[in-house]
Amino acid sequence: MQVFYTGAEWQKNWLHALQSHKIIGFVPTMGALHEGHLDLIRNSKKSSDITVVSIFVNPIQFNNQEDFDKYPVLIQQDLKLLEKENVDFVFMPKLETMYPEKPSISIQFGELETILEGEFRPGHFSGVGIIVSKLFHIIRPHQAFFGQKDLQQVAVIKRLVADLSFPVEIITVPTRREEDGLALSSRNLRLNSEERAKSLILYKSLCSAKNELLEGTNWLEVRNQIQQRFEEEPLAKLEYFELVETEKFTVMNSFDSSQKASICVAAYIGNIRLIDNLPINP
C-alpha cells in the first residue's frame, strides 16, 4: 500500500494505470473508517484494477464548527484497516494542499440544496461539491463508490458528475448496519451508552413507516405517527422524516408503488446528529 500526499505524487501512478488500461476505483472518505467504508473498498476491489482511498476531513462542508472540531481523527487505525484490505493507494492531503486559499466559489444544486439535509445544513452540499470536484480532478478515477446511507449526497454527486461531465461512474453501495439495525457512522463513536440505545428510534421508525406504507396507510398519517413517537422520546429531536423519489431525490407527498421511493430521517440523539434512510421498493 502506497500513501501519497499531493497530486504530483499520484501523477506517475495514474499515467502507468492509463498506459496499462487499468480501471481506477476511488473511495473518498473523511477517515474514522468502519465496516461501511470497507464495503465501499471491497466493491471497488471487485470491479476495479486499482483502488485509491482518500482520507481528508473537509472543513468547508461543515456548517457547525463544533461538529468539525469533534470529528474523530484515527489515522493510524485507519491505515492499518486499509492495509489489511489490500488497498493500493491512500491519498492523505494536508489542508493547505486542498485549500491553498479559502475557496471563493460555491456550487449550487437547485432544489437538492433546499430540502432535507440542504435545508438543515446550509452550504453543506456546496462544500461537498467542491471537495469531490477537486478529488476527481486529482485522482481521475473511472469509478467512484459512495454509501447509500448518504442518499441525498449521492444524488448531489450524480448531479455534479452529469452537469460538469466528469468521466466517472458513480456506484452506490447499500448501507451497512449493526446487528440491531443502527446504520454505521463515524458519529456513532460519540454516542454514550444511553444515547446508543435510544438511537435505534431512527431505524425502528423507518421500518415501521415502510411496513405501514406497504399495507396501504396514507403517508401523511404515517409521518404523523412517527413524529409523535419522537416527541415521546426525551433524548431524541426529529429534524425531518420525509418520503422521496429515490433517483431524482424529490419529496413525495404520497406513496406511489410504481416509483422507486425511500424514507429519509435526520434527528439529534442527545447532541449527536444522525441520518438514515430506507428504500421501500429498491
CATH of the domain at 219: 3.30.1300.10
Give residue 198's pLDDT. Answer: 97
- 171-196 pLDDT, tens per residue? 999 999 999 999 999 999 999 999 99
Confirm whether 7 is domain-assigned.
Answer: yes
Residue 35 marked as a ligand binder: yes
**153 known member of a binding site:** yes
Q: Of 173, 200, 227, which residue constitutes the final position of a domain?
A: 173
**How many other CB atoms sit within 10 Å of the CB of residue 119?**
12
Q: What is the pLDDT of residue 52?
A: 98
Helix (H) or strand (E) run with residue 11 in it: helix 7-19
On whether both 128 and 13 belong to a single domain, the answer is yes
Q: What are the C-alpha distances in Å from 199 to residues 14, 48, 117, 256? A: 42, 36, 19, 29
Whether 101 is covered by a domain: the verdict is yes
Distances (CA, A) of 158 to 163, 186, 247: 9, 23, 10
For the residues 152-165, what does the mean pLDDT come to?
98
> Residue 112 annotated as binding?
no
31 appears as a binding residue in the annotation? yes
One domain, residues 165 and 203: no
Catalytic residue list contains 16: no
Residue 144 lies in a domain: yes
Which of 173, 202, 217 is where one domain is finished? 173
- Together in a domain, 148 and 19: yes
Radius of gyration for the alpha carbons in the chain, expressed in angstroms and rounded: 19
28 confidence band (pLDDT: 50, 70, 90): very high
* Model pLDDT for residues 192-217, shown as the tens digit of each residue: 999 999 999 999 999 999 999 999 99
Residue 281 within any structural domain of the chain: no
Instruction: Tell me, yes or no, whether 115 lies in a domain.
Output: yes
Q: Distance (Å, rounded) from C-alpha 186 to C-alpha 25?
A: 22
For 133, the domain range is: 2-173
**Same domain for 165 and 217:** no
Whether residue 18 is predicted with pLDDT greater than 90 in this model: the reply is: no
Query: Is residue 160 annotated as involved in ligand binding?
Result: no
Select which of 16, 21, 37, 142 is catalytic. Answer: 37
Does 142 carry a binding-site annotation? no
Answer yes or no: is 148 within a domain: yes
Instruction: Compute the average pLDDT of residues 57-74.
Output: 90
Q: Is residue 181 included in any domain, yes or no?
A: no
For residues 45 and 141, membership in a common domain is answered with yes
Q: Residues 142, 229: one domain?
A: no
pLDDT in tens, 217-251: 999 999 999 999 999 999 999 999 999 999 989 99
pLDDT computed for residue 65 by the predictor: 87
- 40 and 163 share a domain? yes
- Asked if residue 282 has pLDDT above 80, the reply is no
User: Is 32 annotated in some ligand binding site?
Assistant: yes
- Which of 119, 147, 173 lies at the terminal end of a domain, its last residue? 173
The verdict on 194 and 239 lying in the same domain is: yes
Q: 147 with 220, same domain? A: no
User: In the chain, how many domains are there?
Assistant: 2
Grid coordinates belonging to 77: 487505525
65 vs 225, residue with greater confidence: 225
- Quick one: 81 and 59 in the same domain? yes
160 and 212 co-located in one domain: no
Average pLDDT over residues 94-105: 95
- Read off the pTM: 0.95
Residue 123 lies in a domain: yes
Residues 204 and 82 reside in one and the same domain: no
* Extended beta strands in the chain, E state: 2-4, 24-29, 50-55, 89-91, 143-147, 169-173, 236-245, 250-251, 261-269, 272-279
